[in-house]
Amino acid sequence: MNVTINRQARDVMADKDELLEQVKSEKPVKNKILSLPFLIIGFLVIVFGAFMLYAMIHQHVTNNSSSSQTSTTTKTKRTSSKYVAGKDYKITYNNQGVIDKATLDKGLKVSYLTDVDDLMDTSSNGSNMAKVEVYYNKDKNLLVERLFENGYKDNQPTQTVGYDLSEEKMNLDKTDPVDYLNQPLVYKWEKLTK
């Protein structure tokens, strides 16, 4: 019986040693398996950080270049239109000795009278203009704009508005015929195409 116990003890000891060897050999595999998610997360953090850095740099470069392009685009928009002066519309300045052209142009711009595409636009969003007359009232320092939509009759404007040059604001409700009668016509825009 002693022999059997010794044999069983040896077997248990051998099994114990075998188990210890298995545990020792499996432990690094478990560590590797457990460290795999941390490696993946670390990799994703690095990739995400690099992407964010790239996006911030690209955004900064884009903002700088777009601000310089904006002024160029704005200048281009003013001069490039799908309509051609002399063919689709005609502009006449009569401001010589009456009002400074820069002051007149500023008033026209505030009133959106320099946007030829909008003036020619006959859709519900457009101005649908056939003619625009601008008079200068020197006593009131006022530009009076007579706006004629397509289909106007008897030289009656669709709307008459004023731009107060002193206050630099539109004067929509205080413009009377007295403000432009016997005043010089300083600017005229006419649609030539039907």
Q: Which has more confidence, 88 or 1?
A: 88
110-152 residue pLDDT tens: 888 989 999 999 998 889 999 999 999 999 999 999 999 999 9
Residue 4: predicted pLDDT: 59
Task: Give the mean pLDDT of the chain.
Answer: 78
Lowest mean pLDDT among 14-18, 85-89, 179-183: 14-18
Instruction: Dump the DSSP string for the chain.
Output: -HHHHHHHHHHHHHHHHHHHHHHHHHHHHHHHHHHHHHHHHHHHHHHHHHHHHHHHHHHHHHHHHHHHHHHHHHHHHHH--SS-BTTTEEEEE--TTTS-HHHHHHHHHHTTTT-HHHHH--STTS--EEEEEEEEETTTTEEEEEEEETT--TT--SEEEEEETTTTEEE-SS--GGGTTTS-EEEEEEE---
Contact 89, 119 (CB under 8 A): yes
Provide CB contacts within 8 A for 165, sequence distance 6+: 103, 107, 141, 142, 143
Percentage of residues in the chain having pLDDT higher than 90: 31
Structure tokens at 174: 């205080």
pLDDT of residue 35: 74
Tens of pLDDT along 41-61? 888 888 888 878 777 776 655
CA 63 remoteness from chain centre: 12
Q: Quick one: pLDDT at residue 22?
A: 63
What does the pLDDT look like over 12-42, one tens digit per residue? 555 666 666 665 665 555 566 667 777 888 8
The answer, yes or no, to whether residue 191 has pLDDT greater than 90, is yes
In this prediction, residues 101-108 reach a mean pLDDT of 91
In this prediction the pTM is 0.58
- For residue 110, count other CB atoms closer than 10 A to its CB: 15
Q: What percent of the chain has pLDDT over 70?
A: 69
Residue recorded with tokens 């941390």: 38
